[in-house]
Structure 1
């Protein structure tokens, strides 16, 4: 069961085969994202290029709630994809897809040009201790850095491509903040030291991304324009 009021995201990584990069980007920007932005419950999307880690590209779809994935419109996209979607998904490499339910949103609401994504496979018996460290110690220490803008934490609802149970998305204004004294302190706190020797702790997934495009649903765009309250 999930809380119908809790925000969620779709998190999907992949990369095109050699020689198909232009086709890959055109597909995402003109087919895949617009089709989803037209659906109820899909409020925005962002695409990223990897600076560290692989696969090379990440797409994040912002969902008002997980119920956005149960609509007839979304089911139709999944069961009867466009021809170009069917082709692209048959040739991409490194495909992952995770449905993530938000459990924490800390910091400002500013979107950074860079994103640090971290994933953990936390055993059930360590979840409470992990949450105490990440939410109670690690995140507050990171946010002391001016350019560490926002941290959103998620629990995996369903996943394809890795063992992960928890994700954290860190919005960064600059890359330099990754070398900041605040981050160094956050990586050596007392609660962290209690977990550091656990085998699963050292097997985290880590990626550093640069944002390449941002999209909003038509209804979200309309609501941001003075005097416009609906879209026909």
Structure 2
């Protein structure tokens, strides 16, 4: 696996059982989020709760590159946490339910270094696309999709990622001022066109639009 110098995102997605969510969120903030924020290469961490889509909880790490989770500092911290929290119910839930994804940034609307804005909603779009259709997916984003979305008042930026291990996976990240904006008629209109319908119905194996309310933002301190 070759890891480029492009910015990267490490994402954890969880669907926790009822009654486990709140204890896990408080535990994660102090056990993982605060400590990983001090690691080299971690730019920011956001934890959110699902408002639209099939996922209940999300953690997003913005990284300088895709090598950060393999660094000695990250690996050492994880081993220490796993030893000290081995029998805690929150760690057991983390092991059972967390689905991790490492993604490499392929395009961005942001000029210069990305700094997460103070917004309520993170709009995440997930696609699984076979290699023969990926050029058209990328053309659709570049030629049709990005500009209308960023013309919607309250949509601030768009960044796109491709999976490091599974290159069929694509993820779009958009910072949105509020759930009302993301669910509003302007956003719906920006996502509608004949080409958009073709991409969503003919080219992809899987797709989902997920909206998360951001509950915690921690900037990297390294």
Normalising by the residue count of structure 1, what TM-score does the alignment of the two structures yield? 0.81
Structure 2 residue aligned with 1:189 = 193
Query: How many residues are aligned here?
Result: 214
1:121 to 125, 128, 133: 128
Greater C-alpha radius of gyration: 1
- After TM superposition, the structure 1 = structure 2 runs for residues 54-203 of structure 1, keeping only pairs within 5 Å, are 54-80=54-80, 81-84=82-85, 87=88, 88-92=90-94, 94-106=97-109, 110-158=117-165, 165-198=169-202, 200=204, 203=206
* Shift of residue 186, structure 1, vs aligned partner: 2.8
**1:190 positional shift:** 4.5
Kindly indicate whether the alpha-carbon contact (under 8 Å) linking 1:141 and 1:182 is maintained by their aligned counterparts in 2: no
Shift of 1:34: 1.8
Counterpart in the other structure of 2:219 = 216
User: Which residue of structure 2 lines up, in the alignment, with residue 14 of structure 1?
Assistant: 14
1:175-201 deviations in whole A, cap 9, x for unaligned?
A: 222344543343333532443441636
In structure 1, the partner of 2:47 is: 47
Question: 1:179–1:18: structure 2 CA closer, same or farther, 3 Å change rule?
Answer: closer
Is 1:24 the counterpart of 2:24? The answer is: yes
Measure, in 2, the Cα distance between the counterparts of 1:193 and 1:118: 15
- Residue 121 of structure 1 aligns to a residue in which SS? strand
Tell me if structure 1 keeps the 8 A contact 2:200–2:207: no
Question: Which sections of structure 2, spanning at least 5 residues, go unmatched?
Answer: none
RCO comparison, higher one (Cα < 8 Å, 6+):
2
CA pair 119-40 structure 1, distance change in 2 beyond 3 A: same
1:62 CA displacement? 1.2
**RMSD across aligned C-alpha pairs, in angstroms?**
2.5
TM-score (norm 2): 0.84
Unaligned runs of 5+ in 1: 220-232
Contact persistence 2:127–2:208 (CA under 8 A): yes
Counterparts of 1:18 and 1:183 in 2: how far apart (Å)? 31
Q: Check whether the contact 1:46–1:60 (CA below 8 A) recurs between aligned residues.
A: yes
